[in-house]
């Protein structure tokens, strides 16, 4: 192995999670000397994606002593001898820790475009939203006409719903209507101001992807998220308002961003972490000596790593990744003329949809269904990502939720595989009890980009003014013929 | 080459580059250029170059990677959908073939099962063999002599050793000189020929691949809208 300690690095980045990978992308044209390491043997950190075999190894590590923001991982696999209900080989799967949907209006997308790395990514539509009702699975109305046609909503509620939808896309100009209720629960607000019945309160709250019950989801937090949902539809085509990168969501973005870092001259070393560091003032300025886990000591002007402390009593979430033996085609069917085939579909189980012996479901459960078009599983199967707020019974509740969901969809799919784990927030955050940590958000949270930009400014320093964040020209193709992008025949 | 009126079918092929003295080989193929003491590769996401076969044109999309390769830290996205790989070793370095074998094993673990792998020993100009396939051999002016042994041969890895390994693993095998251009186009032509017709994107004819390509298009979302299509028509911005 070549040695790393002969160079004075401008920046050493530890961790290849989404945030730090995006930082590497942001710095990829800066001509800085960058060393990017990850203690794991894979890219992506808390946003990684795995084959089945890699999941086995991950589960072992999570349950061993090594500190991380994951805990209590457990795995169940089918033992069926039935040929059609069998798991395929390990690498036929890419199960992601990062299935967040990305709203079409997220700055992440515009930054992936302006930094040109979108060319290495393939985006797919998050097409249909469903509510799991008492007796059936109902598609959420997609726009006004849908609402008018919906026979399950009575006329009074229809009027209230229309009034709310008109208000919410303009909420910023109607402070007098909601400011007094800013800290109240969304459910009460929808009931008192718009006469919406509980089932529609659940529908509206589902659009926020809140992990809290509608009663304890704040109005001030909800309105921008509902507005985002509604105004995102149609931005890149009819019938969808969010996308997911093929091959494992956030994990894929992290890999593509790191490659951009490497193409720009950054050096990547997996399987090496930072043990400790100390900074001293030297001739060349403030230099940090970084002790790596391979016993190397490297010198750098900046060290970027995760905060050491994690708050333990903050909100954690429970998650299940399940593989099922059906392509669940009806979930992904186009609902709107001319829309792309959905690769991801969102299923919401409002409060009290499932009950286990000891407890009823006090907070909503979300299931993101990924079709095999996402590249995450073989044809004829689907991957389900279920999430709810952690509680004493969340594991049993998630199991029950999957059972109920699978009983309501076509061709009674079998469960083939189930990974359960719990995830804690990434950062210490006083506001924790109030809202959700961005790393646990079910939709990509643009707050992450603000962190990336401020880290970028720290590293770039005075040059930050003229340099433009995440705006790059296409790399020279260096080809004899750049004239055409011929895709075939 | 005579222009035929009907354009030949053309398809893109992703080729990943691994090993030592590799970028120079591609630079010779793509730009017909060679640099002594070349700096590590920076700034190229990938290079493209066409390869004309009698019945079709293959457009290589060549992925090179200095910063992730040095410490064997490649990501799965690097190998994904690669139809071919070029594993290069420096035939003047004793350890170089061992590293190449590591890359072959990594490809067999991570890449698609049908991937075409070529093993190439580069720097043939530093040996004293007179190669009949060396078009520039005659006017070799002795510059290649640096690093040579007293007998003028810096070779540390025998052709027989590498070749028998390649045969065991089912790899294409060549020895080349990026400096002189020896065997370089031959490597790429051989790879292009070895790629099965069925695995080519955009290849016409029956087969599941076409149906698969159709659904893929159905779920794809274009983030830049129709503007991209317009720029294809060559409008100057
Ligand atoms: N004599 C001779 N030298 C060569 C040949 N090919 C490459 N070299 C030299 O070998 C050195 C390394 O070649 P590169 O092509 O940069 O190797 P690489 O594997 O891309 O290296 P990195 O990008 O730094 O990982 C350079 O100094 C080249 O000039 C060859 O055919 N003959
Ligand atoms: Mg190189």
Q: What is the CATH number of the domain that holds B88?
A: 3.40.50.300
* pLDDT tens per residue, range B113-135: 899 999 999 999 999 875 544 44
How many Å lie between the alpha carbon of B204 and the closest alpha carbon of chain A?
A: 7
Instruction: Please give the average per-residue pLDDT across A362-387, as a whole number.
Output: 97
The answer as to whether B3 is a domain residue is no
Domains, chain A: 8-44+251-309+445-465 (3.50.50.60), 69-92+122-128+239-245+312-428 (3.30.519), 144-232 (1.10.405.10)
| Residue A117 Rama label (left phi>0; alpha psi -120 to 50; beta) | alpha
Alpha-carbon distance of B93 to B122, in angstroms, equals 10
Is the pLDDT at B3 greater than 70, yes or no?
no
pTM of the model: 0.91
Q: How far is the CA of A469 from the centre of ligand 2 (A)?
A: 28
Residue of B nearest to A483 (CA): B234
Mean pLDDT over the full length of chain A: 91
Alpha-carbon distance of A101 to A228, in angstroms, equals 13
Point out the residue among B49, B65, B218 whose CB comes nearest to the CB of A480: B49
Per-residue pLDDT, A85: 80
Per-residue pLDDT, B201: 65
A118 — contact with chain B (CB < 8 Å)?
Answer: yes
* pLDDT tens per residue, range A453-470: 999 999 998 777 666 899
Point out the residue among B65, B202, B216 whose CB comes nearest to the CB of A488: B202
Report which protein residue has its CA nearest ligand 1's atom 25: B66
Per-residue pLDDT, B216: 60
Query: Within the 469-488 window of chain A, which residues sit less than 8 Å (CB to CB) from chain B?
Result: 475-488
The answer as to whether B34 is a domain residue is yes
Per-residue pLDDT, B34: 94
pLDDT: is B192 or B129 the higher one?
Answer: B192
Q: How many domains does chain B have?
A: 1
The neighbouring-strand residues paired with A285 are A282
Annotate B146-197 with DSSP letters as a single string: TT--TTS----S-HHHHHHHHHHHT-EEEE-BTTTTBTHHHHHHHHHHHS-G
Is the pLDDT at B137 greater than 70, yes or no?
no
Burial class from Cβ neighbours inside 10 Å (0-12, 13-18, 19+) for residue A264 reads buried
pLDDT: is B43 or B113 the higher one?
Answer: B113
Q: Is A330 helix (H, G, I), strand (E, B) or coil?
A: helix
Per-residue pLDDT, B22: 93
Interchain pair B44, A263: CB under 8 A = yes
Contacts A27 to B, Cβ<8 Å = none
Q: How far is the CA of B66 from the centre of ligand 2 (A)?
A: 5
Question: Residue B151 — pLDDT band, cuts 50, 70, 90?
Answer: low
Question: Residue A312 — pLDDT band, cuts 50, 70, 90?
Answer: low
Ligand 1 site residues (CB inside 6 A) read B 20-24, 35-38, 40-41, 66, 69, 122-123, 125-126, 144, 177-179
Burial class from Cβ neighbours inside 10 Å (0-12, 13-18, 19+) for residue A404 reads middle
Ligand nearest to the CA of B180: 1
Per-residue pLDDT, B109: 92
Is the pLDDT at A121 greater than 80, yes or no?
yes
Per-residue pLDDT, A468: 85
Instruction: Please give the average per-residue pLDDT across A474-480, as a whole number.
Output: 62
User: What radius of gyration do chain B's Cα atoms show?
Assistant: 20
How many Å lie between the alpha carbon of A266 and the closest alpha carbon of chain B?
A: 6
Q: Which of A266, A251, A183, A263 is closest to A217 using CA atoms? A: A183
Alpha-carbon distance of B60 to B30, in angstroms, equals 10
* pLDDT tens per residue, range A177-234: 999 999 999 999 999 999 999 999 999 999 999 999 999 999 999 999 999 999 999 9
> What range does the domain containing B153 cover?
10-232
The tokens describing A455, both together, are 């880290």
Residue of B nearest to A49 (CA): B76
Q: Is A394 helix (H, G, I), strand (E, B) or coil?
A: helix
Is the pLDDT at A434 greater than 60, yes or no?
no
Ligand nearest to the CA of B179: 1
List phi, psi (to 5°) of A184: -85, 175
Annotate B51-112 with DSSP letters as a single string: EE-SS-EEEEEEE--HHHHTTT---HHHHTT--EEEEEEETT-TTHHHHHHHHHHHHHHHS-
Which residues 6+ apart lie within 8 Å of B207 measured at CB?
A: B198
Is the pLDDT at A394 greater than 50, yes or no?
yes
Per-residue pLDDT, B40: 75
* Residues, chain A: 489
Per-residue pLDDT, A374: 97
Contacts A240 to B, Cβ<8 Å = 221
Instruction: Please give the average per-residue pLDDT across A111-140, as a whole number.
Output: 92
Alpha-carbon distance of A357 to A142, in angstroms, equals 36
Point out the residue among A124, A259, A487 whose CB comes nearest to the CB of B202: A487
The answer as to whether B24 is a domain residue is yes
Find how far residue A34's CA is from the centre of its chain. Answer: 27
Instruction: Please give the average per-residue pLDDT across A153-165, as a whole number.
Output: 92
Contacts B49 to A, Cβ<8 Å = 479-480
Question: Residue B234 — pLDDT band, cuts 50, 70, 90?
Answer: very low
The answer as to whether B135 is a domain residue is yes
Per-residue pLDDT, A427: 66
Mutate which: A234, A263, A371, A380, vs B, most B CBs within 10 A? A263
Contacts A266 to B, Cβ<8 Å = 67
Q: How far is the CA of B220 from the centre of ligand 1 (A)?
A: 39
Per-residue pLDDT, A436: 75
Is the pLDDT at A331 greater than 70, yes or no?
yes
Contacts A109 to B, Cβ<8 Å = 223
Alpha-carbon distance of A4 to A9, in angstroms, equals 9
Mutate which: B73, B78, B185, B227, vs A, most A CBs within 10 A? B73
Mutate which: A35, A102, A128, A488, vs B, most B CBs within 10 A? A488
Per-residue pLDDT, A41: 95
Is the pLDDT at B214 greater than 60, yes or no?
no
Closest atom, ligand 1, to C-alpha of B146: 1
Q: How far is the CA of A396 from the centre of ligand 2 (A)?
A: 52
Point out the residue among B73, B76, B216 whose CB comes nearest to the CB of A269: B73
Per-residue pLDDT, B207: 38
**What percent of chain B lies above the pLDDT cut of 90?**
60
The answer as to whether B151 is a domain residue is yes
How many Å lie between the alpha carbon of A112 and the closest alpha carbon of chain B?
A: 10
């Amino acid at each position: 192995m070549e040695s790393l300690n002969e160079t004075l690095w401008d920046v050493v980045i530890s961790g290849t999670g989404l945030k730090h990978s995006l930082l590497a992308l942001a710095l990829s044209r800066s001509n800085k000397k960058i060393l990017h390491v990850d203690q794991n043997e894979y890219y992506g950190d808390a946003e990684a994606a795995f084959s089945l075999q890699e999941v086995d190894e991950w589960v072992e590590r999570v349950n061993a002593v090594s500190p991380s923001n994951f805990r209590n991982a457990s795995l169940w696999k089918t033992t069926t001898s039935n040929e059609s209900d069998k798991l395929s080989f390990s690498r036929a799967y890419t199960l992601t820790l990062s299935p967040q949907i990305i709203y079409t209006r997220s700055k992440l997308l515009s930054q992936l475009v302006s930094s040109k790395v979108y060319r290495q990514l393939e985006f797919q539509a998050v097409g249909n939203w469903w509510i799991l009702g008492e007796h059936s699975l109902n598609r959420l109305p997609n726009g006004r006409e849908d609402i008018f046609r919906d026979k399950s909503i009575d006329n009074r509620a229809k009027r209230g719903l229309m009034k709310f939808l008109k208000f919410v896309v303009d909420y910023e100009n109607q402070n007098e209507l909601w400011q007094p209720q800013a800290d109240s629960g969304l459910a009460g607000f929808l009931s008192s101001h718009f006469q919406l019945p509980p089932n529609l309160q659940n529908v509206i709250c589902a659009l926020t992807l809140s992990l809290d019950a509608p009663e304890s989801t704040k109005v001030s937090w909800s309105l921008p998220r509902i507005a985002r949902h509604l105004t995102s539809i149609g931005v890149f085509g009819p019938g969808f308002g969010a996308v997911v990168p093929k091959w494992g969501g956030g994990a894929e973005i992290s890999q593509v961003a790191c490659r951009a870092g490497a193409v720009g001259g950054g050096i990547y070393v997996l399987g090496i972490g930072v043990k400790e560091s100390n900074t001293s003032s030297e001739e060349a300025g403030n230099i940090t000596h970084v002790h790596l886990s391979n016993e190397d000591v490297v010198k750098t002007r900046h060290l970027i790593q995760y905060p050491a402390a994690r708050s333990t009593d903050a909100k954690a979430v429970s998650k299940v990744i399940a593989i099922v033996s059906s392509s669940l085609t009806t979930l992904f069917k186009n609902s709107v003329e001319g829309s792309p085939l959905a690769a991801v579909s969102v299923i919401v189980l409002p409060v009290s949809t499932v009950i286990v012996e000891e407890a009823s479901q006090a907070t909503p459960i979300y299931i993101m269904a990924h079709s095999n078009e996402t590249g995450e599983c073989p044809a004829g199967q689907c991957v389900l990502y279920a999430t709810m707020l952690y509680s004493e019974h969340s594991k049993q509740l998630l199991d029950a939720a999957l059972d109920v969901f699978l009983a309501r969809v076509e061709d009674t799919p079998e469960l083939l595989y189930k990974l359960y784990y719990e995830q804690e927030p990434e950062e210490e955050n006083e506001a924790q009890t109030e809202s959700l940590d961005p790393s646990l958000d079910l939709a990509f949270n643009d707050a992450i980009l603000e962190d990336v930009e401020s880290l970028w400014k720290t590293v770039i320093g005075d040059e930050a003014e003229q340099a433009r964040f995440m705006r790059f020209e296409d790399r020279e193709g260096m080809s004899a013929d750049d004239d055409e992008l011929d895709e075939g025949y | 080459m005579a222009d035929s009126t009907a354009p030949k079918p053309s398809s893109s092929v992703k080729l990943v580059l691994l090993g030592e003295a590799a970028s120079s080989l591609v630079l010779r193929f793509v730009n017909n250029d060679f640099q002594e003491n070349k700096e590590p590769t920076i700034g190229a996401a990938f290079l493209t170059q066409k390869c004309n076969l009698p019945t079709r044109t293959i457009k290589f999309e060549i992925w090179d990677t200095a910063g992730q390769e040095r410490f064997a830290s490649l990501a799965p996205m690097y190998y994904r959908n690669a139809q071919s790989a070029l594993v290069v070793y420096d035939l003047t370095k004793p350890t170089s073939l061992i590293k190449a074998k590591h890359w072959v094993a990594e490809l067999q673990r991570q890449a698609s099962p049908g991937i075409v792998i070529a093993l190439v020993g580069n720097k043939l100009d530093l040996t004293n063999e007179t190669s009949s396939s060396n078009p520039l051999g005659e006017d070799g002016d002795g510059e290649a002599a640096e690093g040579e042994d007293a007998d003028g041969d810096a070779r540390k890895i025998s052709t027989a050793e590498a070749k028998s390994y390649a045969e065991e693993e089912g790899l294409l095998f060549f020895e080349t000189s990026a400096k002189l251009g020896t065997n370089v186009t031959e490597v790429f032509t051989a790879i292009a020929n070895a790629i099965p017709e069925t695995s080519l994107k955009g290849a016409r004819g029956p087969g599941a691949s076409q149906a698969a390509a159709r659904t893929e298009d159905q779920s794809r979302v274009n983030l830049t809208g129709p503007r991209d299509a317009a720029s294809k028509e060559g409008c100057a911005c």
